[in-house]
Homo-oligomer: A and B are copies of this chain.
C-alpha cells in the first residue's frame, strides 16, 4: 500500500508521500514515490505513484526516456497543457499494464495496476493537479475539493476536509499533508516513513523546496507531539452530558 496526497492552493502546490512498498506482508521495502521533472523557467512536474511498483517504475522510466529523446513525438517537454501531460502519463500507464496483462491473467495472482497524481505548471497556464487512474483517464481537483489522494486515502481525509481551502498557505497545507500522512501511518502499517514533501511556489517554474522526514527527525517528532497534545486538549473541551453537570 501507499499513501500520497497533492494539494492545490492559491500560492502553489504541495505534494506528500510515504515510502513503504510491500510484496505481500513478508517483503517490505523503502522506495520514493515522488518524482520531479523540471525545465527551469518553463515547466515543472511532480509525479506521485501508488499501486504496482513494476508498473510505476516502468512509467517513470518511459517518461525519462522520452524526455532525453529530442525526437520523441510526445513527452513532458512537448505537451502544451497540463491535461495533455496527464493524458500522456495515463497512456504510458495503460501501455505498460497491457504489456504484462496476458501473463498476469495466466498467473491469476496480483494486478499490474498503478495510480498516479501528476501536478505542476507549464508557462502560460495555471498550476494544477491530476489524479490518473489505472485505466488511463484522469480527474483534476476543484475549489471545493482542492486536494487529491491515491492509495490508502481514508484515514487521512478528515483533517484535509477540515483545514484545506484555496486560501490556505503553502506551509499550512504542508503541515496538513504531514498530519494526514501521520494519521494514515498509525492506522496502516503498509504506509511508512520516510515522509517526502515537495512545495511548489506558483509561477516559480523550479523544483522548489523538498524535504524528507524520518521518524526520528526533530521536526517530525515535534509535529507528532504537538498534534497529539492538541487533539487531547480539543477532546477535553468537548461539552459534558447533562448528567455530568
Contact = CB atoms under 8 A, between A and B. Distances in A.
A142 interface: no
Contacts of A239: 219, 222-223, 226
A183 interface: yes
A69 interface: no
Nearest to A197: B241
Interface string A209-234: 10100000001001100111111111
Contacts of A155: 154-155, 157-158
Report the contact-size class of chain A (Cβ under 8 Å from the partner).
Answer: 35 or more
Contacts of A159: 231
Contact of A176 (B179, B186, B235, B240): B235
Contacts of A84: none
Interface in A109-140: none
Q: 9 closest A-B pairs (Cβ-Cβ)?
A: A230-B234, A154-B154, A158-B183, A222-B239, A175-B238, A157-B187, A226-B237, A154-B155, A226-B238
